[in-house]
Structure 1
Amino acid sequence: MSEKRPITVDDIYNIGHVEDPRISPDGAWIAYVKVTVDQFENTYKRNIWLAATDGGAPRQLTRGGKDSQPRWSPDGATLAFVSARDEKPQIYLLPTRVPGGEARVLTKAPNGATSPAWSPDGAHIAYLAPMREDERAKEDSDEDDPKPADSFEAKQHKERKAHDEEQYYDPRTMWRIPYRQGTSYVDERYAQIYVIAVDENLEGDDAKPRRLTDINADHDPPQWSTDGGTIYTSRTVDATLDEPWLHQHLYAIDVATGTHTQITTDATFTDYAPLPSPDGKWLAYVRTPLEHLAARNIRLTIIPVDGGEPRDLTLEFDRSVDDFKWAADSSALFFNAENWGDTEIYCVTLSDGYIEEAVAGRFNSEMLDVGVDGGIAYSASTAQNPGELYYKAADATEATQVSDVNGKFLSEVIVQEVHELRFKNPDGLELQGWYLEPVGYEAGKKYPLAFNIHGGPHAMWGPGTRSMWHEWQYHAAQGYAVFYSNPRGGEGYGEEFKLVLRKAWGSIAFTDLMAGVDAFLEKGIADENRMAVTGGSYGGYMTAWVVGHTDRFKSAVTQRGVYNLISFYGTTDVPFLIKSDFGVEPWEDIDFMWEQSPLAYAQHITTPLLIIHSDNDFRAPIPDAEQLFAFLRRMGKTVKMIRYPREGHELSRSGEPKHRVSRLTEMVNWFDEYCKP
């Protein structure tokens, strides 16, 4: 065996992961999405794979490179999935019991179709499709565009449609907040629920999709009742309200008549993601109190399908719930939740509300599914592996790794061990952090430090955080000791741990972060005179706050950060975060908002600062970065700004691969310039 090598920046192209595992109705198979990076095309490939729950090598089902959301038919003979292989995403059907079977397209939605859901009898699929109000009106009038006579006419039609689309938004009118999300402006197309027959032999109206909704609001993915007569969803209660996700409730839609019935009504909560129990008696869903929303726990809740009093199953558990699934006999729910650096899988029984760990081990689970026999499939990352599929049989004590997405890569590289470090802040509160020794570490020798700060602010990092796995290992491979921690305000330690950050984003976290750095320095691994600090989003806010309040760091890289809370409020797609976390709207106490902004302390910054931001970041928009750069430049400080075109807030996690490589290269070069003289 050849000697292993340190991880490089280009290993971004060699790392994959798993998404959306789905167990077949008989419990024998797991369909999942394998995600890889295509360096040549500068993009990501998503293909659907199939693995047996009792072992054996997985096999690839699709090769389109743009395939996702596999969903089993009730009889297990067909997989519905979403593919964007022909420009717009559409739903395809693939036979699973016919070797070499070809997928056929089911939908031809003009703006694409996603989120397929099979009816219990397997005869229909409900799905989501975005449509503008004028497009829905035309659809209702049955005025179909004439079919092109030839390829030339088809080309003309496509060009005319593209021109009309451009003209529709010129000029662009904004009437609700937010008016842009992700990397683009909201196009006034809202996700509507449709139902389409699966039988390809039907003709006329029987073959056409039928729309069940008609409101300028996005609907959550549809879920069928066990008798097939009802579809459950969630949406805003009032389509005219700003930030519609703050006012969501559950709805039941009669499939035959299209009648909508609101199920949840408590205006002090926002409710979403309904999932009916297999016995048809309950709806499980998640809800969050609106007061101080951003810092509150997401609760797993049940309610009778016909309405009634909600029952929170995880209120005393004191952790936020992410993905969840029913047990086959409806007696329990399985869910994952962040807890002390890990994202663990739990089970709660309905009869007594008892919660226990369902899968043992240290990992960060992302998506899960539960089979008819109680087996659990889940995607997860660990400190040793950035992402695989795992399966735990109902009678097994441990889970087994099913996929081998990263096996070849991991066999070739040095993976540094992640060590836990518990420490106390000045108030005596125990906090949690982790560190990596640099590759080639020699005891007694001190190394430059790369100190990382997480975002959120209500997020959590751990030893197996997938989004940071390569970055931390790369820093260590470049000769840096790596340290990161979870200061107060983050997930995984209870609701009060999060709420304490209210009205003090900077000062409270600063105290905890510096206590962690001091505790790590005591181990004698890092050189206190060669320390760099970096973070993204809220981590960018804190990076700027840190260097505005101490000169102990020799280099700093702030990324996709918030630096002026006043301008942030007016440009972000999550303005509710300000009232939620600071208790006021900016105009109610403008001086307080400025005092809480890192930009207010720019004159105190002496650390050389690199600002990294994306042009199309509408979560933490780029004007904040431009202001910070201009302030520091005018003050004669050492500062540089790099901005990435086409990218949004997710640059570091899912941006164009070449941009991710560039970002890490620029970061380490900036570290090196000041920490490796």
Structure 2
Amino acid sequence: MLPEDIGRLVTVGDPRVSPDGGHVAFAVTHVDLPGNRYRSAVWVAAADGSQPPRPLTAGDRRAGSPRWSPDGSRVAVTTVGEDGTCALEVVPFSVPGETFRVCERPEAFTDVAWSPDGTRLAFVSRERARRWTDGDDERSRPPRRIDRLFPRLDDVGWTIDRPAGLFVVPADGTAAPVLLLAGPPDHAGAAWSPDGGTLATCAARGDDLTPVTDVHLVDARAVRGPVGPRTLAAPRTSRTAPAFSPDGRLAVLTEDSFVWPSFSRLSVVDPATGESRSPATGPDLNCTPLRELLWDGDAVVVALEDRGDVHLYRVPAAGDAGAALLVGGRRAVTGYDLAGGTLAFTATDPGALPEVHVLRDGVERRLTSFGAGFHAAVPTGVPEQFTVPSPKGDGDLDVWLLRPARPATSEASGRTPVLLSIHGGPAAQYTNAFFDEFHFLAGAGYAVVWTNPHGSTGRTEAWAQEVRPPEADEVPGSGWGGVDADDVLAALDGALARDPGLDPERLGVLGGSYGGFLTSWLVGHTDRFAAACSERAVNNLESEEWSADVAGSFRYEMGVTHLDAPEVYRRMSPVTYVRDITTPMLLLHSENDLRCHVEQADALYLALRMLGKDVEYWRFPEESHELSRSGSPVHRVQRAQIILDFFGRRLGGRRPRITWDHPARTAGPADRPTDDA
């Protein structure tokens, strides 16, 4: 895979099953590299595979979020036009008629949900304050008043003057939407009660210094604007992803708001009394919120993270029966739905892009093959998965090793250079999914190694919480840069011991966000790497606490505040050890990154430069923390080329062809890749 092959990628997701179980609607997104944009449409497939999938939407508007009406005759979709105008539309499916627009807004529609009788649609969208109408130029608008924490969000921008509210609109478009519940703060989720009289949504509407997200119940029939909700609260517990059962119970995901990371777990709440019960879910695994929760009779279908896999389980809401596995295997489920006896899900594995699958009467069938064109044009390998002991002695590390089809072997040693990749989070996991980055690294001749160290999800909650500092008031651990650093080095050593063809003298390390932190940390504590790429990293934990969009929240992750214990934050900051860095470094950061502000890269770059260290620094304009995942296609390709060019010069891997204004364009012929490279 070459960097420009990013333009061939196609993603399939958000499957939704018609009420009778006969069809599956889903979203398909293509990368349009020449147009430097993403194109998406809603498709539909027969659940029994009797007919090939067909597009349900057409035109230049990006369409997604398909939602079937209760009778299955129509599908609501969201669209975005070339000018950025967002619309909620209804497409006829089993009835005659044309697609019509229910309403449009300058902000996106999320959490779209039909009322049980099919007459109304609920949704969440941002409501712009009056200052947004005072001209098109920010320089002419009045200043923002910041009167609470979390006034902005990465990849979204300022939210304090455009909070996400809960709306209801007639499904036939005969009236304007009604704002039922306004912000700030932001609301998420729109779950209808069985009688259509109540909507449940979630928001941290209390004290902004106490980050607890509660469920709020609001009258869905209100027609005169915002009304006061009834709140279902629990001490120090956040609740999200609400869904009503047919008999009126409310399923939610819950987690501890004061100890981060904490696992999301299923809970069932009685809306009348507020009392909750946590069903027996079996394994001590994290529920990942791929969608709003989904009832199946007297049980709830949830997605659990399990050692690199994401599986589906059916959890009985009553009694102590454990969870039943519905979808397993070495793969990651990315979306799912269930209706009419058909379980539809999108899933990917390390060697294949996501596709739509269905499970009917115990038989699984794949319905789509949108990735076939990519895989035919871009052959990719499949990693070997194995385990090595964690240095902490409390379990094995899952390790993956992707070998290149054409290794960039050294003439002297005949061995292959190695790149150690570290995921973000830390409360996340590398999944058994297709990850384009690993494949373009392997395509340049590198063996790629990755693991899920302590701090990752996919194992027990105690495993994830081990990276809390030893000074934490609750659940102390080894801190960032403790056992997690030991783990990733143990994984690398395990790969080197497993394959004598890997070159221990040509090692590189790279990672983004927390992975960027651990990259910066490692090179300040060991000189075994010949090159390192630290991307969108946390390099100064103290300033991260006041500069991030989630400023004020790291006290819950660290267990102490930066005001009471600044030495804890400084001790765990890579910039503290900058004098010990001898590894050549590549720093990448987005200028609109609000999660890890660009000052994090500036701080490390300035220190390295002042000390005369070997460092290269690239800043991407108009990009957020999500550059590598959903940034502009051109920037994603350029990012890949910068990474490969840097490691190519340091480790001897194949360097990419570059047509834009990059210093590599002036490199001598010996540095150029051959035509067949």
Q: TM-score, normalised by structure 1?
A: 0.89
* Partner residue, 1:334: 301
Q: How far off its partner does 1:360 sit?
A: 2.9
2:257 corresponds in structure 1 to 290
- Counterpart pick for 1:660 among 610, 632, 636: 636
Matches within 5 A, 1:156-175: 161=133, 163=135, 166=138, 169-175=141-147
For residue 56 of structure 2, the aligned residue among 38, 54, 61 is: 61
1:437-462 deviation digits (Å, cap 9, x = unpaired): 11135999520001101110111113
Whether the 8 Å CA contact 2:304–2:311 is kept in 1: the answer is yes
Match of 1:458 in 2: 427
Aligned to 2:668: none
Residue number in structure 1 paired with 2:277: 311
2:481 — aligned with what? Answer: 506
**2:14 is equivalent to residue 20 of structure 1:** yes
Q: Secondary structure at the match of 1:351?
A: coil
Selected match of 2:92 from 88, 91, 95 = 95
SS at match of 2:27: strand
Alignment of 1:489 with 2:465, yes or no, is no
Cα drift, residue 649 of structure 1? 0.5
Counterpart of 1:155 in structure 2 is none
Q: Following TM superposition, by how much is the alpha carbon of 1:577 offset from its aligned partner in structure 2, in angstroms?
A: 4.4
Measured at CA, do residues 161 and 265 of structure 1 come closer, stay the same or move farther in structure 2, by a change above 3 Å? closer
- Name the CA shift for 1:565/1:54 in 2 (closer, same or farther; >3 Å): same
- Distance apart, 1:510 and its partner CA: 1.2
1:188 partner letter: D
Aligned to 1:598: 574
Q: What SS is found at the alignment partner of 2:218?
A: strand
Using a 3 Å threshold, how does the CA distance of structure 1 residues 417 and 87 change in structure 2: closer, same or farther? closer
2:638 pairs with 1:649: no
Deviation of 1:164 (Å): 6.0
Q: How many residues align?
A: 630
1:363 positional shift: 0.8
- Which secondary structure does the structure 2 equivalent of 1:475 belong to? helix
Q: CA deviation at 1:254?
A: 1.8
Q: 2:614 aligns with which of 638, 648, 652?
A: 638
Q: Tell me, which stretches of 5 or more residues in structure 1 are unaligned?
A: 1-6, 136-159
1:593-630 alpha-carbon deviations (Å, 9 max, x no partner): 11110001110111100000000000011101001000
Aligned to 1:189: 162
Q: Deviations over 1:290-329 (max 9, x none)?
A: 231x311101111123233211225653111123677765
Q: Which amino acid aligns with 2:164?
A: A
Partner of 1:144: none
Distance 1:636 1:431, change over 3 A: same
1:666 deviates by 0.7
8 A contact 1:263–1:307 mirrored in 2: no
Q: Deviations over 1:370-401 (max 9, x none)?
A: 1121x2111221111122222111432xx322
**Structure (1 or 2) with the greater helix fraction:** 1
Partner of 2:216: 251
Amino acid at match of 1:290: S
Asked if structure 2 preserves the Cα contact closer than 8 Å seen for 1:344 and 1:364, the reply is: yes
Q: How far off its partner does 1:644 sit?
A: 0.2
2:416 matched to 1:421? no
Q: 1:264 to 1:171 in 2, by over 3 A?
A: closer
2:313 alignment partner, one of 346, 366, 375: 346
Q: Is the 8 A contact 1:328 1:372 kept in 2?
A: no
Looking at structure 2, the residues matched to 552 and 328 of structure 1 have their Cα atoms a distance apart, in angstroms, of 51
Q: Secondary structure of 1:376's partner?
A: strand
Give matches, 1:552-571, under 5 Å: 552-571=528-547
Q: Equivalents in 2 of 1:112, 1:308: separation in Å?
A: 32
Q: Distance in 2 between matches of 1:168 and 1:120?
A: 45
**In structure 1, distance between residues paired with 2:15 and 2:586:** 39
CA distance change for structure 1 residues 453 and 129 in 2, over 3 Å: closer, same or farther?
closer
1:439-498 Cα deviation digits (max 9, x unpaired): 13599952000110111011111332x4xx111111111111110111111000110001
Task: Give the equivalent residue in structure 2 for 1:10.
Answer: 4
Q: 1:112 to 1:610 in 2, by over 3 A?
A: closer
Query: CA offset at residue 66 of structure 1?
Result: 1.1
**Cα 1:53–1:134 shift into 2, 3 Å:** same
Distance of 2:345 and 2:640 partners within structure 1? 29
> Is residue 325–residue 370 contact of structure 1 (8 Å, CA) maintained in 2?
no
* Alpha-carbon contact 2:5-2:378 (below 8 Å) kept: no
- Following superposition, the deviation at residue 263 of structure 1 comes to 4.6
Query: What is the deviation of 1:131?
Result: 1.9
Percentage of identical aligned residues:
31
Supply the distance in 1 between the matched residues of 2:265 and 2:294 (Cα, whole angstroms): 18
Return the alpha-carbon distance in structure 2 between the equivalents of residues 113 and 486 of structure 1.
34
The amino acid that maps onto 2:12 is V
Change (3 A) 1:215 1:604: closer
- Counterpart of 1:628 in 2: which secondary structure? helix
Residue 161 of structure 1, CA deviation: 4.6
CA contact (8 A) 2:408 2:416 kept: no
2:584 maps to amino acid:
P
* 1:299 and 1:313 in contact (8 A); partners too: no
Per the TM alignment, residue 576 of structure 1 is displaced from its structure 2 partner at its CA by: 4.5
User: Which deviates further from its counterpart, 211-220 or 664-673?
Assistant: 211-220
In structure 2, distance between residues paired with 1:181 and 1:90 = 22
Contact preservation (8 Å) 2:591, 2:623: yes
Call closer, same or farther: CA 1:251–1:180 in 2, change over 3 Å.
closer
Cα deviations by residue, 1:188-240 (Å, 9 ceiling, x for unpaired): 1222222222335x5xxxx33322224432222311111111111112232x6
CA-CA distance at 1:115 after TM superposition: 3.0
Alignment correspondent of 1:153: none
Partner of 2:27 in structure 1? 33
In the TM superposition, 1:112-131 aligns within 5 A as 113-131=109-127
User: What amino acid is the match of 1:298?
Assistant: S
- The aligned runs of 1:200-349 (5 Å cut-off) are 202=174, 207-238=175-206, 241-242=208-209, 246-257=211-222, 260-277=228-245, 279-292=246-259, 294-313=260-279, 317-322=283-288, 323=290, 330-349=297-316
For 1:335, the aligned partner's letter is V
On the 8 A contact 1:438/1:481 being kept in 2, the answer is: yes
Q: Give the Å deviation of 1:12.
A: 0.4
Q: What SS does structure 2 have at the residue aligned with 1:83?
A: strand
Partner of 1:149: none
Q: Is the 8 A contact 1:30 1:53 kept in 2?
A: yes
Alignment map for 1:403-482 (pairs within 5 Å): 403-428=368-393, 429-440=395-406, 445-464=414-433, 466=434, 469-482=435-448
2:518 aligned with 1:550, yes or no? no
Query: Is 1:42 the counterpart of 2:10 in the alignment?
Result: no
Compared CA separation, residues 527 and 218, structure 1 to 2 (3 A): same
- Say if 1:475 and 1:668, in contact at 8 Å, map to a contact too: yes
Report the CA distance between 1:543 and its aligned residue: 0.3
Is 1:609 equivalent to 2:575 in the alignment?
no
Which stretch of structure 1 is more off in the superposition, 306-315 or 652-661? 306-315
| Residue 104 (structure 2) aligns with | 108
Structure 2 match to 1:156: none
1:237/1:420 CA distance change after superposition, 3 Å: same
Output the aligned Cα RMSD. 2.2
Change (3 A) 1:436 1:164: closer
SS in 2 for 1:222: strand
- Note if contact 2:22-2:340 (Cα within 8 Å) is conserved in structure 1: no
The one-letter code sitting in structure 2 at the alignment partner of 1:249 is D
Structure 2 CA distance for aligned equivalents of residues 337 and 168 of structure 1: 49
Asked whether 1:180 is paired with 2:152, we answer yes
CA displacement, residues 400-432 of structure 1 (integer Å, 9 cap, x when unaligned): 222221101112332112101200133333111
Q: Which amino acid aligns with 2:405?
A: V
Q: Which one-letter code corresponds to 2:271 in the other structure?
A: V
